[in-house]
Amino acid sequence: MSLYAEIIGDPVAQSKSPAIHNHWLSALGIAADYRACPVAAAALADYCAQRRDDPEWCGCNVTMPHKQAIIGLVDRLDPLAARIGAVNTVVRAGDGSLAGFNTDAGGFLEPLRPVLALPSRLRSALVLGTGGAARAVVAALAGEGVTVVLAGRDPAKARALLEELDPAGGHRTADLASFAAPAGRPRDQGGRGFDLIVNASPLGMAGQPPLAFDLSHAPPGSIVYDIVTHPLDTPLLRAARAAGLRTIDGLAMLIGQAATAFTLFFGEVPPRGDGDRALREVLAR
C-alpha cells in the first residue's frame, strides 16, 4: 500500500503544498506521497465520493474555491472548522468517513505569536477579503481579542461574516475600494491606525487582478501580512518593505497550517528545528 495525500482546488498547479509535504516526508523517511489534484467545483462531490473508497488516500488540503462548499460533503466537522465555517483539511478515517478541519487559523497566527505575547500586543487589524481564508483570519484575530475592520467588495457580505463569527466583538466593515486612495485619517476605532494589515484575498496572486491598496493606511510600526504565495514577494510586501514596515509573507501561514495538516494525514510531527530555513530554500528553487 502506498499512502498519499493531496491538495485540491481550481486552480492548483501553483500550489507549494506538494513541495512542503514531500520535503517533510523525505526528511522523516515516510513512504508516502503528496500530490496536487485540480478539482473543478462541479466535480467536488464526485471527487470526495471516489476518495472515500481509496484506502491509500489519507486526505487532502482544500484551497479556493472549495473551502466552504466541501463542508456539506464531510461526515464530521472539527469544532474550530464549524465555528469558522470553512474547511482547508479533510482527513479520511479507516472506515472511509471524512472529517473536516481548519488549520488556517493556527497557521496564520503562528508568526504573530511573539507580537501577541508583548504587553503592547496587537489591538487592531484591517483584513482585506471575505472568502474562506479571510474567515479563518478573522476568527483567529477575534479569538486573540483583536478588533477587526473587514474590507470587502461587498460590505454587506463582510458585515454578515462578522455577525456570524463574532457578533459581540465591536468589529466594523469597510468597502475594499476605499483603501485604494490615500487615507484621510486613521480608520480604526481608536483613531491611531491599524497595528496589522492582512491581505486575505486572492488579489495580487498570479492570474488574479492586482490589489489596489494605498500604504497611507498602514501607519509606522504596523505589520503588513500578505497570505498570497504565488508570487511570494507580492507588490504589497515590496511596497511595505520600501516604506520601512515589517512584513510577513504567505509562506509563514502556509507552512504553519501545513504542519498541523501533515500530522493529521501521516501521524508524525514534521521537522521544523531550523525555523523552516531548509524548507524555504527548497521552495525558493
- Let me know if 67 is a catalytic residue: yes
Q: Please name the residues in contact with 105: beta carbons below 8 A apart, sequence gap of 6 or more.
A: 80, 84, 136, 137, 139, 140, 143
pLDDT of 17 = 96
- Check whether 192 has a pLDDT greater than 80: no
Grid cell 482544500 — which residue? 62
How do residues 39-60 score in pLDDT, each as one tens digit? 999 999 999 999 999 999 999 9
What's the DSSP call for residue 219?
A: -
- For CATH 3.40.50.10860, the residue range(s) in the chain are 3-102+254-284
pLDDT of 173 = 97
Rounded average pLDDT over 212-232: 94
- DSSP helix/strand/coil, 128: strand
Q: Are strands 196-199 and 223-226 parallel, antiparallel or unpaired?
A: parallel
pLDDT of 184 = 73
Give the model's confidence band at 185: pLDDT under 50 very low, under 70 low, under 90 confident, else very high.
low
pLDDT of 190 = 46
Q: E strands, 10-157, where?
A: 32-38, 57-62, 76-77, 89-92, 98-101, 124-128, 147-152
- From 51, 67, 172, 217, active-site residue: 67
Grid cell 470526495 — which residue? 48
Share of the chain above pLDDT 70, in %: 97
Give the model's confidence band at 129: pLDDT under 50 very low, under 70 low, under 90 confident, else very high.
very high
How do residues 229-273 score in pLDDT, each as one tens digit? 989 999 999 999 999 999 999 999 999 999 999 999 999 999 998
pLDDT of 188 = 45
Query: Half-sphere exposure of residue 223, counting CA atoms within 13 Å on the CB side?
Result: 20
pLDDT of 183 = 85
Give the model's confidence band at 187: pLDDT under 50 very low, under 70 low, under 90 confident, else very high.
very low
- Check whether 20 has a pLDDT greater than 80: yes
Which one is the CATH code of 106-248: 3.30.1330.40, 3.10.180.10, 3.40.50.720, 3.40.50.12140? 3.40.50.720
Cell numbers for 191: 483613531
Indicate the CATH number for domain 3-102+254-284.
3.40.50.10860
Lowest-confidence region among 30-34, 121-125, 245-249: 121-125
Tabulate helix, strand, coil % of the chain (nearest 5).
40, 20, 40
pLDDT of 119 = 85
- Check whether 117 has a pLDDT greater than 70: yes
- Check whether 189 has a pLDDT greater than 60: no
Share of the chain above pLDDT 90, in %: 89
Q: Looking at this protein, which amino acid is placed at residue 97?
A: S
Work out the number of other CB atoms within 10 angstroms of the CB of residue 158: 26
Q: Which of 127, 128, 140, 146 is nearest to 257 (CA)?
A: 140
How do residues 135-161 score in pLDDT, each as one tens digit? 999 999 999 999 999 999 999 999 999
CA 18 to CA 110: how far, in whole Å? 21
- For CATH 3.40.50.720, the residue range(s) in the chain are 106-248
What is the residue-averaged pLDDT of the chain?
A: 94
CA 238 to CA 143: how far, in whole Å? 29
Q: Specify whether the CB–CB gap between 8 and 63 falls below 8 A.
A: yes
Sign of CA dihedral 37, 42, 45, 50: negative
Q: Looking at this protein, which amino acid is placed at residue 260?
A: T
